[in-house]
Structure 1
Amino acid sequence: MAKKEKDGIGMAAKILLLIGGLNWGLVGVGGFAGSNWNIVNMILGSWPQVEWVVYILVGLSALWMVKDMYM
């Protein structure tokens, strides 16, 4: 894979992990507050399939970053 392509995928992975991490943090804080602070669900709740795709992309991004750590 070309370096430029790999850098683009890496940047997308970092952005998705940032979104995912912030979302999970808000889910945790919202749990203690007795509220649903799942931002992805609030934005995409009416399109559950799209919401699931976002979660899958965040998970794949984590795998990509693990791969980068060991290569």
Structure 2
Amino acid sequence: MRQLNGLDWTALVILIIGGINWGLVGFFTFDLVAAIFGPLTVVSRIIYALVGLSAIYVAVISPALSRRVETRRHKAAGEAA
């Protein structure tokens, strides 16, 4: 069974921050990253790139995470029986 490591957690946190930023853009037309670091500065572009890389990374590891959840669900069902 695969445990979440530091890279997994980092990618998840970056992805959540990116999702919140996109939610702000969608609901309020407010880009928090651009407001803090400037529109399309080097730093903001790095942040956007990290969010994209995190999304790709989480998409790649998600099958392993899904198998882990299914394994837990089956074990819990077996204990309840």
TM-score by length of 2: 0.69
Matched residue, 2:49: 56
Q: Matched residues, percent identical?
A: 37
Report the CA distance between 1:68 and its aligned residue: 0.3
Report the CA distance between 1:70 and its aligned residue: 3.0
What do you get for the CA RMSD once the two structures are aligned? 2.1
Structure of larger gyration radius: 2
- When the two structures are aligned, how many residues end up with a matched partner? 63
Unmatched runs of 5 consecutive residues or more in structure 1 = 32-36
Q: Counterparts of 2:40 and 2:21 in 1: how far apart (Å)?
A: 17
The letter of the residue matching 2:12 is K
Q: Counterparts of 2:26 and 2:48 in 1: how far apart (Å)?
A: 16
Matched residue, 2:60: 67
Following TM superposition, the consecutive aligned residue runs of length 4 or more in structure 1 with deviations greater than 3 angstroms are none
The letter of the residue matching 2:18 is G
Matched residue, 2:19: 21
Matched residue, 2:7: 9
Matched residue, 1:34: none
Unmatched runs of 5 consecutive residues or more in structure 2 = 65-81
TM-score by length of 1: 0.78
